[in-house]
Structure 1
């Protein structure tokens, strides 16, 4: 009976499965595999994202994934990927990576769950340390933007590159789409980590120099703008995250107060939440805190074993709740080395 269900009904059932159950269902038979690939609603639309702890400073053969449904950790082998390589951002169920054995930017994508890896074509211009931004159009289509960076010039030396390139995953090509102010090219090259947020047609980066500021690029018109940051000269750490389709800022002061602001009308920041003091007290050093977010979740973390403070959306988007997630100290009795990590939030899937 199950193998003969209409595709639309089977797809509806699949949409309620967790990612691991969805993967097992997809492997059950040819009919289910075809249905899952063509008509099934992505299970990520109904389940919280997983946290991926990716070691950054050591050549590690594993990363660690936290399943928020079962509240447990898994070890994912990375022995299928070339090294050295470092993650930049999640794109749906994929991870955007950059090679660290070359000064010029070279990118790739991988799926740590299916162990698939693919290099992106080279950029039109060789760039060192540009800002990288990701725009996820849907579960199968994305764009990658690269802004600024330094390029070598004939005869020796290098210049800041005041242009923007865009990679289209449908065309699998790079295109130089616009120029940019040289001042912004310098600041994005020198002071910007490779975290970006796309909100309402704008791609945003935060500069890490004190005092913090936000630089925005409007997709389509190619206009640039700069936003101030609340308490900019007092924050020990600051990061941009998306929230309900809006741009949000997470920042903490040396007094241990951590706030979340949301950008409203007229580019004004408004406080929407503070980290509860009983959770914040578990982090003794806010200066080493990192943050990653996506629509529906914000995670504050430090290293793989220290635990996380999570603010997550619950009950059909009715409310948000805070919780503490224990760090990954051991898996199946094997101790995990306390490594610095890059945190990612992604929805596991079987995409290539």
Structure 2
């Protein structure tokens, strides 16, 4: 037995680095950080440029978070095609209910707790948690924003514990401002004042240097962080008046998903991509990239008793989940194809479960 154990150790140590990286790719997402702590060699592999590239490009994850953090969350790996449960019970007890998960970046989840959960623009408690390292940081009060309209979390460089939280909101003087929180300085700073525009109280997305959000008047705001300028874009249209839309951002770009309903019944789903180019006085256009096939739409409609659904961008994919459904439909933007994910491993039909992408950035140094 001792000889066999020594032989196994020699076989592992003799493996070429690229094969070791390939083996480590198959680790479940919640094992990344535990295995990195084994030794400096393994940590170096996780921190290598090659593995970091693989983790970003080939390991998109979808996480489903319930508002009650005592219940398990679910993570789906598009690489291994499997669901796993992960706990968020490490979030402090006073932050437990209700929690609204708003975005993700660098393995971190941005969430808030609002006293006026259904109707208010009031400023909630913002916090950032990492389900892999089981850490949670409550952000300090903002310097100027008194009523939040939209929020996003952005990665900074390649370090998992560095991020920026951007908030668009109303100041006490009635102006709309953009305020940024830096995880390194642990402080808020007013980034800019933007034209009078009301953002719908939902996600704001970051893509190629700009924040995107849907306005209350039915348009889309694009705020360029570096230049400090704001563009209000018209929504794409379909040949129907019974259309409601969602803004989605993924690796491939910014999209609008439009749902057509009739008599409160889902009839069809269209998708448009935002294309940036000079067109006379305009520098953008909407390009229709696809429509949910009738057979798929019928199947999707049967997966829930409601016409409401959420959609989120993960890697090159757009994921659709109907209200309280255990089934998730995926549109692959790069392949223009539709498919269903495997069913959840348990009956977890949470009304307030939120789908979010979870990007893994295994670049924190070993200590």
Report the TM-score range of the alignment, normalised by the length of the smaller protein: 0.7 to 0.9
Q: Which residue number corresponds to residue 154 of structure 1? A: none
Q: CA deviation at 1:87?
A: 0.9
Unaligned runs of 5+ in 2: 1-9, 117-121, 278-282
Contact 1:16 1:46 (C-alpha < 8 Å) held by counterparts:
no
Task: Mark the structure with the bigger radius of gyration.
Answer: 2
1:68 equivalent to 2:78? Answer: yes
Contact 1:11 1:41 (C-alpha < 8 Å) held by counterparts:
no
- Equivalent of residue 104 in structure 1, options 108, 123, 127: 123
Q: 1:244 to 1:342 in 2, by over 3 A?
A: closer
RMSD: 3.2
Q: 1:96 to 1:129 in 2, by over 3 A?
A: same
Task: After TM superposition, list the pairs within 5 Å mapping 1:94-243 onto structure 2.
Answer: 94-101=108-115, 103-140=122-159, 141-149=162-170, 151=172, 160-181=174-195, 183-184=196-197, 187-188=198-199, 191-193=200-202, 195-207=203-215, 209=216, 212-231=218-237, 234=241, 236-243=243-250
Secondary structure of the residue aligned to 1:44 is helix
Q: CA deviation at 1:179?
A: 1.2
Task: After TM superposition, list the pairs within 5 Å mapping 1:1-352 onto structure 2.
Answer: 2-3=12-13, 9=17, 13=21, 17-20=25-28, 23=32, 25-37=35-47, 41-42=51-52, 43-56=54-67, 60-82=70-92, 83-84=96-97, 85-101=99-115, 103-140=122-159, 141-149=162-170, 151=172, 160-181=174-195, 183-184=196-197, 187-188=198-199, 191-193=200-202, 195-207=203-215, 209=216, 212-231=218-237, 234=241, 236-254=243-261, 256-264=267-275, 265=277, 266-284=283-301, 287-303=307-323, 305-312=325-332, 319-328=335-344, 330-331=345-346, 335-348=347-360
Q: Which residue number corresponds to residue 119 of structure 2? A: none
Matched residue pairs, number? 326
Q: CA deviation at 1:108?
A: 1.6
Q: 1:175 to 1:4 in 2, by over 3 A?
A: farther
Unaligned runs of 5+ in 1: 152-158
Secondary structure of the residue aligned to 1:283 is helix
Q: CA deviation at 1:62?
A: 2.2
Question: 2 CA distance for matches of 1:105 and 1:129?
Answer: 8
Secondary structure of the residue aligned to 1:78 is coil
Contact 1:19 1:347 (C-alpha < 8 Å) held by counterparts:
no
Secondary structure of the residue aligned to 1:267 is strand
Question: 2 CA distance for matches of 1:126 and 1:15?
Answer: 47
TM-score by length of 1: 0.79
CA deviation profile, 1:20-76 (whole Å, cap 9, x unmatched): 2772652543421244246563242242422111124x5643222223334332222
